[in-house]
């Protein structure tokens, strides 16, 4: 059982926040400045990256397929699946049609109970509806 102040509980709350609509922002879960793949940015820029994708595919939902937590190092590693139906023909560098899914691998470094660093390894998109198609641009 995870304790309420554990990194696992905090991370699951972060996933809940990015799945909430309308998107509530992430200031409760992340530092005011974060690093994404070693690129430092204000939290507002990170939120914009995420909200742009959410706006392009409002039904996007993130589901944890695998979660590894090292409480002593304040680190999280996970495999996340998202499924969505993009509203436009182009989405995240791909030409898409229909419902798609993608498995991503993510690593997080917490500091003082909030996410400070994120490493993101995007996966391949796969069409999952009968008429779905995906082509990388």
Kindly report the CATH class assigned to 7-136: alpha beta
| Nearest-angstrom CA–CA distance, 105 and 2 | 22
The domain segmentation of the chain, as residue ranges, is 7-136
Query: What would the two tokens of residue 94 be?
Result: 């791909």
Q: What is the mean pLDDT of residues 16-26?
A: 93
Confidence of residue 2 (pLDDT cuts 50, 70, 90): low
| Pairwise CA distance, residues 131 & 136, whole Å | 17
pLDDT by residue (tens digit) across 28-37? Answer: 999 999 999 9
Confidence at residue 136, expressed as pLDDT on a 0 to 100 scale: 86
User: Between the CA atoms of 125, 128, 132 and 137, what dihedral angle is there, to the nearest 10 degrees?
Assistant: 0
Mean pLDDT value across residues 14-35:
95
């Amino acid at each position: 059982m995870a304790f309420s102040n554990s990194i696992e509980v905090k991370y699951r709350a972060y996933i809940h926040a990015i799945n909430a609509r309308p998107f509530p922002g992430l200031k409760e879960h992340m530092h005011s400045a974060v690093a994404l793949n070693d690129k430092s940015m204000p939290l507002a820029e990170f939120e914009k990256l995420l909200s742009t994708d959410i706006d392009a595919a409002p039904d996007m939902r993130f589901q944890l397929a695998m979660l590894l937590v090292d409480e002593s190092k304040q680190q999280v590693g996970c495999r996340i699946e998202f499924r969505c139906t993009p509203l436009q023909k182009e989405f995240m560098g791909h030409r898409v049609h229909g419902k798609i899914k993608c498995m991503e691998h993510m690593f997080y470094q917490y500091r003082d109970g909030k996410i400070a660093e994120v490493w993101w390894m995007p996966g391949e998109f796969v069409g999952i509806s009968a008429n779905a198609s995906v082509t990388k641009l």
